[in-house]
Amino acid sequence: MGARIIDGKGFASGVRGRVAEAVARLKAAHGITPGLAVVLVGEDPASQVYVRNKGVQTREAGMASFEHKLPAETPQAELLALIARLNADPAVHGILVQLPLPGHMDAEAVINAIDPRKDVDGFHVLNVGLLGTGQKAMVPCTPLGCLMLLRDALGDLAGLNAVVVGRSNIVGKPMAQLLLNESCTVTIAHSRTRDLAGLCRSADILVAAVGRPRMIRGDWVKPGATVIDVGINRIEEEGRTRLVGDVDFEGAAGVAGAITPVPGGVGPMTIACLLANTLTACCRANG
Ligand code: GUN
């Protein structure tokens, strides 16, 4: 085990602390409290846990938390009407609709109904376009958290070979865009990539976001590389439930220069960045 273990949990706690300080200053100086509305449709157990954690950490940062829980069979028009009310509500600076949505809903239409200035997930097509053209955008929380950890671990990222495994709109694509904006040489790999192992071995920065437990093997990692594991997979092992990443941690830690653990790596950064984005949205809304 040679790699430095990247302490995402500690880093996220620092980000949340700085957000809380800024929120306190905003309240004291201007009487403004940033507000985050989270909308959950249906009863997906994992989503319920995420939404609860978001509410707790939002309040801990001194922000207002508005939770809206709708039944799974809610008509899409009703969800759109709620989003319109939140768009118009001056106490709400950030809106997050938890994904995935029930099958009868058109997730793109729902996301694009959010006021882009309140789109703290950075999923609205306007924010995707702003990020893609290097303009000031709301940046998706998980890739933003990964970038913060990478900058902290490596400093300047320019010229490094980055391989992002996974092409989702939530993580893979925005992660690749952020790394490109940092002047990395970026490749996005996916389920149809040929010689994935060989490609991964070329990476100075390897980001795994595929949702498949321990898919990335230790011998796919370039010696000294920085490995960011976005996966959170629940598996049954030796009679108990464990959380594991998309990377074979034991194998990769023997080769990499630095690696994020699961849990305690990327996971805590997502909510920390959500709070940071909500603060940013609030500051922009108030000039
Ligand atoms: N579901 C899984 N990750 C996310 C996320 O970052 N934002 C939202 N809205 N839903 C998710």
Q: What would the DSSP string read from start to end of 184-196?
A: -EEEEE-TT-SSH
Q: What is the ipTM of this complex?
A: 0.96
In angstroms, the CA 108 to CA 4 distance is 39
Which position among 57, 119, 121, 246 bears the catalytic label?
Answer: 121
Give start and end residues of each alpha helix (H) in the chain.
8-30, 45-60, 76-88, 107-112, 125-132, 141-154, 172-181, 196-200, 249-253, 267-285
Q: Is 98 a catalytic residue?
A: yes
119 within ligand 1 shell (Cβ under 6 A): no
The pLDDT value recorded for residue 1 is: 66
Q: Is 54 a catalytic residue?
A: yes
**Beta carbons of 40 and 48 less than 8 angstroms apart:** yes
Q: Is the CATH code 2.160.10.10 the one for domain 31-129?
A: no
Mean pLDDT of the chain: 98
CA 271 – ligand 1 centroid, Å = 10
The pLDDT value recorded for residue 184 is: 98
Identify which of 50, 79, 233 to mutate to test ligand 1's pocket (most ligand atoms within 8 A of the CB): 50
In angstroms, the CA 16 to CA 221 distance is 32
Among residues of the chain, what percentage have pLDDT more than 70?
100
pTM: 0.98
Start-end ranges of CATH 3.40.50.720 in the chain? 141-268
What is the per-residue pLDDT across 8-17, written as a single tens digit (0 to 9) for each? 999 999 999 9
Distances from the Cα of 4 to the Cαs of 1, 59, 125, 252, in angstroms? 9, 33, 37, 11
Banded model confidence at residue 34, pLDDT cuts 50, 70, 90: very high
Start-end ranges of CATH 3.40.50.10860 in the chain? 31-129
The pLDDT value recorded for residue 247 is: 98
| Nearest protein Cα to ligand 1, atom 2 | 99
Q: Judging by DSSP bridges, how do beta strands 233-237 and 240-244 pair with one another?
A: antiparallel
The pLDDT value recorded for residue 287 is: 81
- Examine the pLDDT at 188 and tell me if it is beyond 90: yes
Q: Which atom of ligand 1 is nearest to the CA of 274?
A: 6
Mean pLDDT, to the nearest integer, of 200-208? 99
What is the per-residue pLDDT across 120-169, written as a single tens digit (0 to 9) for each? 999 999 999 999 999 999 999 999 999 999 999 999 999 999 999 999 99
Which superfamily does CATH assign the domain made up of 141-268 to? NAD(P)-binding Rossmann-like Domain (3.40.50.720)
